[in-house]
Structures are given as C-alpha cells and as structure tokens.
Structure 1
Amino acid sequence: MLSILIPTYHYNAYPLAQALEKQALEANIIFELICVDDGSFSHLNIENQKINNLTNCKFIEAKKNVGRTASRLFLAKQAQYNWLLFIDADVLPKYHDFLSKYLEKIQYNFQAVFGGFAYQETSYYKNKSLRYTFGKQREEVDANIRNQTPYKVIISANFLIKKAIYLELIKNNTDNSYGMDYLLGALLKKHQFQILHINNEVYHFGLDENLNFLKKTEHAMQTLNNLYVSKQITSNDISLLKAYRFLEFLFLQHLFGKFMAFFDSKIKKNLTHENPNLFLFDLYRLGYFCRIPK
C-alpha cells in the first residue's frame, strides 16, 4: 500500500499524475495519489484539477503558501498508507515499472529508498546551462556510487520513506528555506536510519534559468549556514563544509571569502555561459559561504 505525494507550485502536475496512475493500475497496486499546490493561485491549476478525475487521486489547492517542507508535511499527514513516495511535479519516471522498482524494496529492512535523478539532452538550453550541468554531473549518479556515502547525495524530489519516520524527522523542521535536503540527509544519518539508493531515476524537466539558480544557490548556502551554526548538521558528508572547516582550521575563512568576492563577477559570467565550469561554481559557493556571518 502506497501513498504517492506530489508537492507543486505553479506547475502542471497532471502528466506526472497520469503516468503514475497508469503504472499503479497496471501493477495492481493499492495506492492513493495526493497532489497539493502550495498557494500559487496559478492558472495551471485548471489542468491540475483534472487529477481529481483519475483513479484514487486528488488535487488540493492550498489557499496559503507555507513553503516546500511544510507542504510536504501536510501531504504526509494527509496520507493514509504507511509508505510515502515523494515526487516533485516537474519530473517524469524514467522507467515503465518505476513504482514496482520501489515496492520491491519494501520487504527489506530499509527506512528510506532514494531513486535518483536523470537529465535528457533535450533539456539543455543556454540560459539554463548551469542547472543542467550541475544536475548532469552532480545529481545523475549511479546508485552503486551513491550507496558508498549514502547520506551525501540526498534528493528529496524522488524518494520512498516510512510515514512514521518522515513525520518524526520533519515535525519540528518546517523552515521555508531552499536547501533543506541538507537537513534531511543529516537527520537520517543522525538517527542511523538504514537507507538504500537504487537506479530508479526520474527525468528532471523544470530547470531554473542561470541567474535564478544562482540566487537559489545563495539561499541554499544561507540555509546550510543556519543549520551548521545551530549544530543541526556537521561537515561529515558535505564537501563544502569540509572545505570550510579546513579554511577555518587555518584561520583563512574570512580572507578566502573576501578574496573570492573580487572574482564574483567574472565567475558569474562563466557560470551563466553555455559551458559553465563546476569547479568555479564550487569556489563561488564556498566564497559566499565564508562571507555569511557565523
């Protein structure tokens, strides 16, 4: 028995809901599908209302924007089954047996299963080159590699988790901030929950334009800083925090942040070009992180 939960905001989730309903019916799965729009009041919700016509599916149009994490908590509380499959609205399953691949793992002693991300070459556009390149090189990772450091590559846009565990982890962590996947990974590791990564990817289509992705990246660094300062997260599995701790050990973090600020405009020019360099992207993120007050 499976609750499929789709948070959305100003996006047409109907094609995804259709694809998942088709798979569930063909596999004869006991399921429900709930999609919630987080108070966008979008004209696209005319399409999303069609989800109500699908088998065991419903669409809820929230009247207030509460943020990504709180919206997911709402979905989890609405769910009637013990296993939750969270999947973002801007994706489509790569495999025709996507749901079955997840359900095969329920019999084993795992509390969460992560399917992964994939990107089609047709999703590349020059004005979205940074998000595409980052996704292709950093998120499209084989499960064998992800399982070597299981709490590091945590992508909450496509994962299965026990309802009781998710509610316990998230109930006090509904901050409306970009970058909360850092916290999910840290909480799973803190409690030593057994997680598994499998090759059950979804194709990611809703790519941000370059400048917007840079702004979201800065917000993610602020979120990471808040989690780090409040000791909700450590540097164990996050490469950027390891680099920061090294600079801090040498008392060079402030100098590095100021030094990198001189090159921000040149780095941004590269990152918004058609072939962005992810090493420069890492330096940009680290420099920005060093300049955030601790």
Structure 2
Amino acid sequence: MIAEAGARQAQPASAGIPEATDGETIHTNANWTDVTPRLSILVPTYKDSANQLLSMLAACHYAEAVEIIVYDDGSQDIALTNAMRESVDAFPGAACLITAEHNKGRSAGRNRLQASSRAPWLVFLDADMIPDDEGFIVRYLKCVQDDSAPRLVVGGFSMKLTPFSSKTDLHRAQSERSECMAASVRSEEPGRYVFTSNVLAHRDIMNAVPFDPAFSGWGWEDVEWGIRVSRQYPVEHIDNSATHLGLDTAQDLLRKYEQSGANFWLAVERHPDVMEQTPLFRMASMFSQVPGRFLIREVSRYVSRMPVWLMPRAIRLLALKTFRAAVYGGARHART
C-alpha cells in the first residue's frame, strides 16, 4: 500500500496508514493494519540500507508483535528505495517505509518517526545497527511488561558482529573505548550514556521531550536529547546490545568531526552544567585560545590517518581526540 501527499501537516499515527506530508511516499506491508504493535521500532536512515537490520529483526523472537518504521531522510536513490520496500514486505510483523523527498536532518527524522508510530513504547535503532542475538525484542518487551511507568531504557552498544577492517580500525577502537560499555558502567552516569542508536522510550517522553531540530547535520543531537530526558524522567541501562556495523574510515570520521563543531557548542549552550564538566569541553576551550590550533589540527589529522602498522593505535586515538578538540576550539573561536 502506498500513499503520497503534498505539503500537509503530519498527524499522530492511528491504526491506518500514516499520513504523508511534504512530498513523502509511504509504503506499508500487508500486515500493517492487522497488527496492534506492542513496540514500535523506529529506524532513521540516509543513503544507507536498512535491509540487514530488517532481516535480523525478522529472525528475533516475537517479531510479529512489533511494527518497524523506516524513515529514509531524502536519499533520493530509487534502487535503495525499491530494495527496502522488498524487505518491508517480507517482515513478519507490521512494517512501513517513509521516503522523504528532501533531507531534513537527524532530529527532524526521529520526530517524524515518532509521529508515525502506534505503540506506547518506541525503540530507536539506527539502520547500521543489528541486534546481537534473537532475544533483543523479548528483552525490551519484558521491560515494558515489568514496569509500564514512562522512562528511558538504554540497551547498549557493541562491536560483537562487526567484521574487522584495517580501514575502519580507528573508529572501532574509539567506539570500544567510549561507547561499548556494560549497563553497570553506564548506570554510574545514566544521562551521559544515552545512545539513540539503540534506546527504548515511552511515548509520553517523546511527546514531552522531542528532538531539537536546531541541531542540523551530524552529532550531539542525541546527547543533548538524553540530557533533557534525564532531567524529567528516569533513565535505566540494561544489557540488550546491538552491534554497530557502519564504522567509518578515519577520513570520514574526521570529516564528521569537522561538521559537528556548531552542534557541540549548541549543546554546551543548552546544558552548560553538564557539558562543561567533560574533558572535551576543557580541551576545546583551551584550543580556542591557542594561536597555533590550525597547525595542531592538521598534524593530528595526519597522524590519525596513518595505518596501524606505521603508527600504534593508542597514538592515533590520541591524535583523533586532539583533532576534534582543535576543530571544536576553532568553531568556538569563530562564534566569538
């Protein structure tokens, strides 16, 4: 089933097909109107296929009890769209693909997914993530069955199923150090470790605390959202991890850092009490006052991109950290 529409205001989803807006195309599978979902699994994507994720979720226990909504944020790739439609049609539960005409950004995409969903509990799962085992859906269902009170539940992040590649080894090492943590560790600072690549939220939270569309491009919109949620609702961490498959090369990771400086300082403006306590803030603030930060940035860029056989990974990680701080320092200097 396909629905198309022009520029109309999106409305909360009902039992029917979500209402298209702003030139979107909406495709639902044959199960859509027959399923009353207990969970809505919401998948934002841009120029990446969600097919492997859909396939893995289809193999999970109780897949027929959920709905999956994929939001393609303006990829404008007909072949990609057709392939994801086939995966949507094959999913054993309810499934929907919303294809946006133009890119609107990560915050707007997640808000659109929430508005299209029907279940009281929502799982945000990035397209380049896959569940680590077949009990992924069951564990989240148990969470909502055991305690129906509105809260945020963070499942966790892993590299368990990510194939090793020398091209992405730096991103892998950075993720293992800063993101792949057990629930017991994340629980020590629950608001800080909210990764929207794999998180369960009650609908009341999304209605009260939507993602901030002022964050454009890549980076920090999820951290800022997690801080706001933690001020109003409980944040619980559990071990229900998903693997991040979409690791970046060092060059692509450096490029993303270069694009995220404005978002970082916007997060600092929104939550200075939290952000100013981070080592990154202190380093970036220092670099904003250093006249030679351009040279430091370029040297650290060069070292970060060196192959592991030529430069130890620990030094490349330090260079990556220094590069981001120097870039953010420059972004702060440009704002003043």
Q: CA–CA distance in 2 between the matches of 1:79 and 1:283? A: 41
Report the equivalent of 2:263. Answer: 223
Q: CA–CA distance in 2 between the matches of 1:177 and 1:234? A: 22
Please point out which of 153, 159, 172 is paired with 2:199: 159
Mean CA deviation greater in 227-236 or 165-174: 227-236
CA contact (8 A) 1:152 1:237 kept: no
Secondary structure of 1:123's counterpart equals: coil
Report the equivalent of 2:97. Answer: 59
Equivalent AA in structure 2 for residue 229 of structure 1 = E
Instruction: Could you tell me which runs of 5 or more consecutive residues in structure 1 were left unpaired when the two chains were aligned.
Output: 248-252
Q: CA–CA distance in 1 between the matches of 2:114 and 2:209? A: 12
Secondary structure of 2:143's counterpart equals: coil
Report the equivalent of 2:110. Answer: 72
Distance 1:263 1:27, change over 3 A: same
Query: For each residue in 1:78-125, what CA deviation from the matched residue of structure 2 results, as whole angstroms up to 9, or x when unmatched?
Result: 111110011111111102101111222222356111111111485332
Secondary structure of 1:127's counterpart equals: coil
Report the equivalent of 2:325. Answer: 286
Q: Sequence identity of aligned pairs in percent?
A: 23
Report the equivalent of 2:50. Answer: 13
Tell whether 2:265 aligns with 1:265. Answer: no
CA contact (8 A) 1:31 1:56 kept: yes
Mean CA deviation greater in 267-276 or 88-97: 267-276
Please point out which of 45, 68, 75 is paired with 1:33: 68
Offset at 1:162?
0.8
Report the equivalent of 1:203. Answer: 243
Q: CA–CA distance in 2 between the matches of 1:282 and 1:171? A: 27
CA contact (8 A) 1:129 1:272 kept: no
Equivalent AA in structure 2 for residue 101 of structure 1 = R
Instruction: Could you tell me which runs of 5 or more consecutive residues in structure 2 were left unpaired when the two chains were aligned.
Output: 1-37
Report the equivalent of 1:186. Answer: 227
Secondary structure of 1:170's counterpart equals: coil
CA contact (8 A) 1:6 1:88 kept: yes
Q: CA–CA distance in 2 between the matches of 1:262 and 1:78? A: 47
CA contact (8 A) 1:67 1:177 kept: yes
CA contact (8 A) 1:260 1:284 kept: no
Report the equivalent of 1:144. Answer: 184
Mean CA deviation greater in 29-38 or 226-235: 226-235
TM (norm. structure 1) is: 0.87
Tell whether 2:289 aligns with 1:255. Answer: yes
CA contact (8 A) 1:92 1:202 kept: yes
CA contact (8 A) 2:216 2:263 kept: no
Tell whether 2:84 aligns with 1:48. Answer: yes
Q: CA–CA distance in 1 between the matches of 2:89 and 2:72? A: 13
Mean CA deviation greater in 130-139 or 117-126: 117-126
Q: CA–CA distance in 2 between the matches of 1:172 and 1:288? A: 23
Q: CA–CA distance in 2 between the matches of 1:128 and 1:28? A: 32
Secondary structure of 1:70's counterpart equals: helix
Secondary structure of 2:209's counterpart equals: helix
Q: CA–CA distance in 2 between the matches of 1:78 and 1:160? A: 16
Offset at 1:215?
1.4
CA contact (8 A) 2:69 2:98 kept: yes
Aligned residues: 284
Aligned-residue Cα RMSD (Å) equals: 2.3
Offset at 1:52?
2.7
Report the equivalent of 1:127. Answer: 167
Q: CA–CA distance in 1 between the matches of 2:324 and 2:212? A: 27
Offset at 1:71?
1.0
Distance 1:29 1:49, change over 3 A: closer
